[in-house]
Amino acid sequence: MEEKSNKSHILVLPIPVQGHINPMVQFSKRLASKGVNKVTLVTIYSISKNMPKESGLINIESIPHDEKSPPQNIDPMLEWFQLLVSKNLRKIVEKLSDSVYPVKVLVFDSVATWAIDLAHKLGLKGAAFFTQPCCLSAIYYHMDPETTKVSFDGSDVSLPSLPLLTKEDLPSLIYDTDLYPTLRGLIFSQNINFKKADWLLFNTFDALEKEIVEWIRPRYPIKTIGPTIPSMYLDKRLKEDKEYGLSLFKPNSETCMKWLDSKEIDSVVYVSFGSLASLDEQQMEELAFGLILTKCYFLWVVRATEENKLPEEFMSKLSEKGLMVNWCPQLDVLAHRSVGCFFTHSGWNSTLEALSLGVPMVTMPQWSDQPTNAKFISDVWQIGVRVKVGENGVVNRDEIASSIREVMEEEKGIILKENAMKWKNLAKEAVDEGGSSDKNIEEFLSNL
């Protein structure tokens, strides 16, 4: 298919967190593959140094900062990032613009709501990129303390286009009002994007959130453009697009794949809680012994900073059934024939990956959007089970083991696998030529 040339330059600005950068890198690759002359990902120096200067089809532009790494805690990091970008964006736009390919559009992370004003001041159009599902935006829209009267008093919540939600299904920042005040403020201020942004782009696809998309679309012109995972796992139209292009941790690729190759089909539980989640010592212990109790093989990603929370007794039993690594190539693992279950916190990126590769899930949500994702995984899309939390706030080992067995050994697991394969096919259809997400990206580009 012959691509139309589009003489423009698009800047893409994610917040510097792996689960936000990777989907926006993938979207950038899609734009570049469709004939946009220049797509440049703008990120902080401490991240860009781990990326190739040209990541395949896209360019990388680094925002300089002092030698100290960005703050580790979320709130100070977000404040630091806003200040850094506000100081440097004009210089970057001037540097990257030329008479042939002027910078026309800033695609910014929807959490960085302040970026739309910066874009408009510089004469650019602004496209808000939501790295979360539409259901999250609908909840934040209806429950915004500044603009709506829907408050949360602890009882169930009924909202248009959404299933009935309990406290356990809501994003944690709805009721955890003192935790991460900066992040909470930005999360709710995402509603500003609906009023100010020139485009609203969502990392989801129409079939996955049909009712919610149909409720939002007559009110706001949203475009679903996902799932933004490397093309080789979906439509295979972007040659050699097999990796995101960024891993903040060094993956133990060879160790993982060699170990998985020695296992039978659907015999392994893959356990990972992403790059941010941190379980306390008691929960780590229960998870460790829950995995031992299942008698299944398991591959568990435990970041180096979390290893000291594991009991010695578990470490001595580990080699019988499990492999523990600090990081691994998640897509390769999920696509491996031996993996039959993904035990995860249900962050949105991980959810989309499992769904696009057809892997059933066991979810143990921790915070933010994860409880809502877990609700949809178990009750709406029916591709996984959700563990039950004990009265002490901890999921015990028996619950962990029985949830895994449900997916790996019982009849329910067969149904979950069938549903997961159905969604896998629909995800591929959405991004393939003429699919809903593919058409939406084409429309976005034709309006530039």
Confidence (pLDDT) at 54: 56
Unique residue bearing structure tokens 């995984």: 377
Four-way CATH pick for 253-426: 3.40.50.2000, 3.40.50.150, 3.40.50.720, 3.30.110.30: 3.40.50.2000
Q: Looking at the domain that runs over 6-245+429-446, which CATH code has it been given?
A: 3.40.50.2000
Q: For residue 140, give the nearest of 106, 114, 113, 100 by alpha carbon.
A: 113
Catalytic residues: 20, 109
Q: Is the pLDDT of residue 5 over 70?
A: no
Domains 6-245+429-446 and 253-426 share a fold: yes
The dihedral built from the CA positions of residue 418, 366, 20 and 337, taken in this order, carries a sign that is: negative
The reply to whether the predicted model has a pTM over 0.85 is: yes
Give the pLDDT confidence of 270-291 residue by residue, as tens digits.
Answer: 999 987 778 999 999 999 999 9
CA distance 390 to 398: 11
CA-to-CA distance for 340 and 407, rounded, in angstroms?
8
Q: Domain segments of the chain: what residues?
A: 6-245+429-446, 253-426
Which of 245 and 160 is assigned the larger pLDDT?
160
Dump pLDDT digits (tens) for 95-110. Answer: 998 878 899 999 999 9
pLDDT for res 53: 61
